[in-house]
C-alpha cells in the first residue's frame, strides 16, 4: 500500500498587511500638521500682528490732537518818564484888586427960595440900625457862642399861616457865616437836629425846622453843637409866637471866643 505523506497547507499571509502604508501616511500627516500648528502658534505668540493670526488685534483709530495755540507776546510801550526841573517854576499868584463901592450921594430936598436969602440943601436922615447886644470886653463866657435875642417874623413859604418853625444862623468871630454846625432843638415829645447852611433863606449859614402846622404858644430849647458834637452854646429858651405874623422864631448864634 502506497502511503503518501500528508501535505501541509501553505502558510497563510497575515491579513491586512497591504493597508499598513495608509496608516503610516496618516500618522505622518498628523505629525507634520502638529509641527506646523506648533510653529504657527509660536509665531503668533511672538508676533500677534502676523497675517496667520485668526484673531488679530483690533486696529484703534488714530488719536486726534488739537494743536496747542502758541502765545505771542506783544511788547507794550514803555512810558517815557518826564523829568520836572527842580525847583518847580512858581505859579504866579493872582492878586485881586478891591472893587470900589460907590457911596450913595445924599438926596437934596428942595426948599422954597426967598429973594435975598440963599437956601442950603437938606440931607435925608440916615436910618438908625437896631442895636445888637454885643459881648462886652473882659466878660468871661461859658461857651464860645451866645445867642442874640429871639426875634419873630411871618412865614413866607406856600404854607403861609399853616406853619410854625424855629430858624436862625451862626456867624464866627469876624462875622463870617459858619456852616455844618449841628443845631439841637428840644421840646415836649419833640427832638430834632438841623445843620447850619441847610436853609439859605436865613443867610449862608441859615437853618429852619418846622415844629407845628399852625402857630401856637409853646416853649422849646435850642443849643448849638460843635464839629465834635459837644455843646458850643448854652441852651436857649425859645417861646414860639401864636400869630401868623410871628410863626417863625429866629435865633442867631454869634461866636465870642475861640473853641
* Location of C-alpha cell 436910618: 127
Is the pLDDT higher at 252 or at 39? 252
* 185 touches 167 (CB < 8 A): no
Q: Based on the number of CB atoms within 10 Å of its own CB, is 30 exposed (0-12), middle (13-18) or buried (19 or more)? A: exposed
Whole-number mean pLDDT of the chain?
77
3-state helix, strand, coil in the chain (%, to 5): 15, 20, 65
Is the pLDDT higher at 10 or at 29? 29
Confidence of residue 45 (pLDDT cuts 50, 70, 90): confident
The C-alpha atoms of residue 90 and residue 87 are separated, in whole angstroms, by 9
The predicted structure's pLDDT at residue 132: 44
**191-222: per-residue pLDDT in tens?**
999 999 999 999 999 999 999 999 999 999 99
Rounded mean pLDDT, 218-246: 97
The predicted structure's pLDDT at residue 121: 42
| pLDDT exceeds 60 at position 116 | no
Q: What is the 3-state secondary structure (H, E, C) of 134-181?
A: CCCCCCCCCCCEEECCCEEECCCCCCCCCCEEEEEEEECCCCCECCCC
CA diameter of the chain: 245
* 172 touches 254 (CB < 8 A): no
Q: Return the H-helix or E-strand segment holding 23.
A: helix 20-46
Rounded mean pLDDT, 102-130: 45
**133-190: per-residue pLDDT in tens?**
555 556 789 999 999 999 999 999 999 999 999 999 999 999 999 999 999 999 999 9
pTM > 0.95: yes or no: no
The C-alpha atoms of residue 219 and residue 214 are separated, in whole angstroms, by 15
Amino acid at each position: 500500500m502506497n502511503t503518501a505523506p500528508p501535505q501541509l497547507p501553505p502558510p497563510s499571509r497575515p491579513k491586512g498587511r497591504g493597508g499598513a502604508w495608509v496608516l503610516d501616511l496618516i500618522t505622518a500627516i498628523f505629525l507634520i500638521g502638529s509641527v506646523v500648528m506648533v510653529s504657527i502658534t509660536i509665531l503668533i505668540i511672538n508676533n500677534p500682528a502676523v497675517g496667520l493670526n485668526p484673531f488679530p488685534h483690533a486696529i484703534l483709530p488714530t488719536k486726534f490732537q488739537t494743536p496747542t495755540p502758541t502765545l505771542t507776546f506783544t511788547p507794550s510801550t514803555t512810558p517815557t518818564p518826564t523829568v520836572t526841573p527842580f525847583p518847580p517854576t512858581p505859579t504866579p499868584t493872582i492878586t485881586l484888586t478891591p472893587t470900589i463901592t460907590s457911596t450913595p450921594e445924599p438926596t437934596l430936598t428942595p426948599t422954597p427960595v426967598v429973594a435975598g436969602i440963599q437956601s442950603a440943601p437938606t440931607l435925608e436922615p440916615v436910618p438908625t440900625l437896631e442895636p445888637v447886644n454885643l459881648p462886652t470886653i473882659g466878660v468871661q463866657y461859658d461857651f464860645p457862642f451866645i445867642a442874640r435875642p429871639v426875634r419873630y417874623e411871618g412865614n413866607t413859604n406856600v404854607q403861609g399861616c399853616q406853619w410854625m418853625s424855629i430858624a436862625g444862623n451862626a456867624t464866627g468871630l469876624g462875622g463870617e457865616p459858619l456852616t455844618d454846625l449841628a443845631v439841637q432843638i428840644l421840646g415836649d415829645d419833640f427832638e430834632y437836629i438841623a445843620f447850619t447852611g441847610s436853609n439859605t433863606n436865613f443867610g449862608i449859614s441859615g437853618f429852619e425846622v418846622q415844629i407845628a402846622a399852625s402857630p401856637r404858644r409853646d416853649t422849646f430849647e435850642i443849643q448849638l453843637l460843635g464839629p465834635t458834637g459837644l455843646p458850643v452854646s448854652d441852651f436857649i429858651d425859645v417861646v414860639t409866637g401864636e400869630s401868623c405874623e410871628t410863626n417863625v422864631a429866629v435865633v442867631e448864634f454869634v461866636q465870642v471866643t475861640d473853641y
